[in-house]
Amino acid sequence: MFITGFVTRIKCAFRDKEMIFWTLLFPVMLATLFYFCFSNLDSADAFSPVKTAVVADQAYRQAAGFQAALEEVSKEGEDRLLQLTRVETREEADRLLEDGRVEGYLTIEAGAPKLTVRDDGLNQTILKSFLDQYLQISATAAHILERNPQAAQQGLLTDLMEQQEFTREISLSNAKPSHQLPYFYALIAMVCLYGSFQGLTSAFYLQANLSALGARRSMAPRKKLAMITADMLGSLAVHLLTMLVLLCYLLLVLRLDFGNQIGYLLLTVLVGSIVGVSLGALVGAALRIKVEAKTAILITLSLACCFLAGLMVEGISYAIQQNAPAAAWLNPAARISDAFYCLYYYDNHTRYFMDLGVLCAMAAIFGLGAMACLRRRKYESI
């Protein structure tokens, strides 16, 4: 009888076309939209050499030191700072600047380099910083040579041009930083919580005062606990199948990189889905209001949790974590999203298992609460 109830619940779930749309087709459509909207986020921060013009007139040709500095920062390679274009006259440089083909241009006036730009921005700031650094080094070198003419033969210029670094950049993992993945993490968390619709449907068809099917099932000679368990597991199985389809679409079609810890990835999806289904069952069993109102509550709750987990605004999850850590830890969507984040970036599973522990506690509270409400529900008449 347990197997019969389990299989029957699965069949009923697949016949619910509206449910399949919201838990499978809609997330796939939203993931596709995210992919096309956010695919350039990771490349937006990539640095490209600043397009710069220099007026190569007689004054420039006489400034050997400045020429050497420009050639050094415009050489091909990973550390290339400027993409240099040489022009003969200032009028030609002005035309390039007006047409937007360069971010600024350099000239030599009264023996000193000068920068001309049209707008304010990051690239213009980089140009100004380069010029300021060159002027500072030149002034320092002139001052030292004035007091010690032999310093040039003692490696002064090499020492001044050499950049000393006193910090070392390290990474907790080999994963490349990504701005688009948090949106997909929050999307998966949203779909996990959408399992609440399956749980709500199961609770609806287990209560005799809400549906004719519930009334017939209440009269059946079966243990109530076995009936509830079979229904909940059937709902969970269907939702897990939709989650697996979504994950396959993200990994195999959209080619998103979630790291190589697929086992832990699937475990997170399993626990998150249990939280979603049990939450829906609890709302369906505990609240004595119309099913439409229960659905509205679940939709509002799911979207609010996902908003605070970063589904709509990047960085809001971090802000909540810093300013209201209790709210962040009580948000199931934030814990699911953070678990994916830990798997991608961290080299250990300490924080991951903390997230998973919180989710398991939520699932236990929601599930046991739903079962208690459904098992103790009695009716004087139907």
In DSSP notation, 183-222 reads: HHHHHHHHHHHTHHHHHHHHHHTT-TTT-HHHHHHHHSSS
Q: Are 37 and 312 spatial neighbours (Cβ–Cβ below 8 Å)?
A: no
Other beta carbons within 10 angstroms of residue 31's beta carbon come to: 20
Res 82: pLDDT: 87
pLDDT over 60 at 166, yes or no: no
The structure tokens listed for 115 are 């920068």
Other beta carbons within 10 angstroms of residue 337's beta carbon come to: 32
The structure tokens listed for 53 are 């013009």
Q: Which of 274, 312, 42, 321 shows the shortest CA–CA distance to 187?
A: 312
pLDDT over 70 at 165, yes or no: no
Which of these ranges, 85-89, 150-154, 226-230, has the smallest mean pLDDT? 150-154
Q: Are 217 and 205 spatial neighbours (Cβ–Cβ below 8 Å)?
A: yes
Over pLDDT 70: what percentage of the chain?
A: 83
The structure tokens listed for 197 are 């619709």
**Taking residues 5-25, what's their average pLDDT?**
89
Which residues are CB-contacts of 137 (< 8 A; sequence separation ≥ 6)?
160, 161
pLDDT over 80 at 150, yes or no: no
Query: DSSP labels for 129-152?
Result: HHHHHHHHHHHHHHHHHHH-GGGG
pLDDT over 80 at 208, yes or no: no
Res 306: pLDDT: 93
CA distances from 279 to 16, 31, 265, 353 (A): 20, 24, 21, 21
Around 72, how many Cα atoms within 13 Å sit in the side-chain half-sphere?
Answer: 11
Check residues 153 and 322 and name the one with the higher pLDDT. 322
pLDDT over 70 at 11, yes or no: yes
The structure tokens listed for 70 are 């420009």
Task: Quote helix, strand, coil % in the chain, to nearest 5.
Answer: 70, 5, 25
Q: Are 347 and 172 spatial neighbours (Cβ–Cβ below 8 Å)?
A: yes
pLDDT over 80 at 358, yes or no: yes
Q: What's this model's pTM, rounded to 2 decimal places?
A: 0.74
Q: Which of 327, 342, 339, 356 shows the shortest CA–CA distance to 319?
A: 327
Sheet containing strand 104-109, strands side by side: 82-87, 50-55, 104-109, 112-117
Per DSSP (E only), the strands in the chain are 50-55, 82-87, 104-109, 112-117
Res 373: pLDDT: 86
CA 121 to CA 98: how far, in whole Å? 15
Res 349: pLDDT: 92
Check residues 49 and 247 and name the one with the higher pLDDT. 247
How confident is the prediction for the chain on average, in pLDDT? 84
Q: What are phi and psi of 113, to 5 degrees?
A: -70, 145
* Reported confidence tier of residue 10, pLDDT bands at 50, 70, 90: very high
Res 335: pLDDT: 96
Q: Which amino acid is at 217?
A: R
Res 12: pLDDT: 87
Q: Are 366 and 278 spatial neighbours (Cβ–Cβ below 8 Å)?
A: yes
- Domains, the chain, with CATH or none: 2-41+179-375 (no CATH), 47-161 (3.40.190)
Res 262: pLDDT: 92
What's the chain's length in residues? Answer: 382
pLDDT over 70 at 122, yes or no: yes
Whose tokens are 């006193």? That residue is 166
pLDDT over 80 at 246, yes or no: yes
